[in-house]
Structure 1
Amino acid sequence: MNEEIAQRPALPPARPTALPVTALLLLAGAAWLARAVWEIRLAVAGEPASGPPDQGDGNHRPLTSLEDAYHIVGAVGDVIVVLCAAAFLAWLWRVRDNARALSGRPPKYQGIWVYLGWIVPVVNLWVPRGLVADVHRASAPDKRLPFVVNVWWALWLIGLLSGVGLFHEGSRDGLIERAYTDVWQLLLSDAAVVGAAVAAVFVVRAVTAAQREPAAN
């Protein structure tokens, strides 16, 4: 037994990277919830008689106070999401290294995919989930992949593919216009993003715990 403990690799703790990412995930979910609240307020207030903020041909009317506040809420949310993404990647890199040390085998995906896997079209539909699943499999080969991983990824894909979620390519004024005319689609996308953020907290906890248990034995 002592010989087995001596041969077990000393792992850098994943908890110091897990704590900030879980806090930021909850903040990101709260930011998206706030955005949904403002979209409801916009829908209830109704579009001004002067029309949408983007008047076409490069012309924009002055924003109302509610529209201006939506821009601020969105900008704050964008900052939180960037910080959350950086923290999540730092955590993922740490647990990936730990999983390699625990299993004694190279990861399924090369390190560059920890970053590119989220942004390369088509590939980003499965690689990030595959990265997390591979880490869990290498860390706890005798345990099934937690179901929450699939819940997280399904909600993430809904937010990704809805066209109005985290990777919305249009302007925020365009979202304001849609809040006036089609708020339910925005709210469904927001709900998926908030749900993905909450589910990701449990993913981080599960994977971190899977590595802490072998290290504690």
Structure 2
Amino acid sequence: MNDHIEPPTAFSASPAPALRPVRAASLVAMVTLALAGAGWVARAVWHIRLAMAGEPASGPPDQGGGNHRTLTSLEDSYHLVGTASGFAALVCGIAFVVWLGRVRDNGGDLAGTRPRYSALWVYFGWIVPIINLWFPRGIVADAYRSSAPGERLPRSLNVWWGLWLIGAFGGVGITGGDSADKVIARAYTHVWQLLAFDAAVVGAAVAGIFVVRAVTAVQQRHLDGDALQYGGSPVS
């Protein structure tokens, strides 16, 4: 006589956190990392060309006292290469920060706690002195640990960060304050120093691609799993 009574429904768990899509942002970040690395390869090629050509008899481009001589065609083309590689690095930085902000937020949602680093440090962590020596790496590591508790951090993380520090703060790297003319003068006298920093920047770009892939992969597992659980398609 109790046939009309409906059986109790199964207890439904609390809905999964609404994670932000990361696949598209990661693809853009990896492509721009590759472009930035290619830009620094081009710089290295021009550094070698300048060293092989040798300094003109008229001396370095910056003559001192605010005087600059007319550039040779090779020196002039180096300015173009430097501008192009600098633009590629800027675009790469923007794309990487966008991706980093997403994985940071997702990591906090997955862990159910506030991220260790404030959202402001996603942007200012790269430029505030002393802080910029470890905060960006910490944000990436925190996002990975929150997304894959108990898993070891990817080896590429430390490789990327070590090479980034060498390339960015080596005096002639991404954040170096020397003008293009002064870098040209160094190519004539200390090309191996320039090539060492170029190699560090290129290596950091390559390792950065692996970092982006690793962090994105662990979060994409959650995104794909949630989509399948609720009958949707994998989230990009």
TM over 0.5: yes
Q: CA RMSD in A?
A: 1.3
Change (3 A) 1:169 1:153: same
Matched, 1:12 2:20: yes
Q: Aligned equivalents of 1:74 and 1:3: distance in 2? A: 58
Instruction: Provide Cα deviations, 1:81-104, integer angstroms capped at 9, x if missing partner.
Output: 111111000000111111111111
The residue number in structure 1 matching 2:208 is 200
State the identity as a percent. Answer: 59
Change (3 A) 1:93 1:2: farther
Q: Aligned equivalents of 2:186 and 2:91: distance in 1? A: 27
Q: Aligned equivalents of 1:169 and 1:151: distance in 2? A: 24
In the TM superposition, residue 21 of structure 1 has moved relative to its aligned partner by: 0.8
Q: Aligned equivalents of 1:161 and 1:82: distance in 2? A: 16
Which of 86, 91, 95 pairs up with 1:83?
A: 91
- 1:61-80 equivalent positions in 2, closer than 5 A: 61-80=69-88
Q: Would you tell me which structure has more helix in proportion to its own residues?
A: 1
Matched, 1:160 2:175: no
Q: Which secondary structure state, in structure 1, belongs to the residue aligned with residue 137 of structure 2?
A: helix
Q: Give the TM-score normalised by structure 1.
A: 0.96
Q: Aligned equivalents of 2:98 and 2:21: distance in 1? A: 13
- AA at the equivalent of 1:149: L
Q: Aligned equivalents of 2:148 and 2:46: distance in 1? A: 43
**Displacement over 2 Å in runs of 4+:** 1-4, 214-217
Matched, 1:52 2:60: yes
In the TM superposition, residue 213 of structure 1 has moved relative to its aligned partner by: 1.2
In the TM superposition, residue 178 of structure 1 has moved relative to its aligned partner by: 0.2
The residue number in structure 1 matching 2:234 is none
Q: Structure 1 regions of 5+ residues with no counterpart?
A: none
The residue number in structure 1 matching 2:140 is 132
Q: Give the TM-score normalised by structure 2.
A: 0.89
- AA at the equivalent of 2:195: L
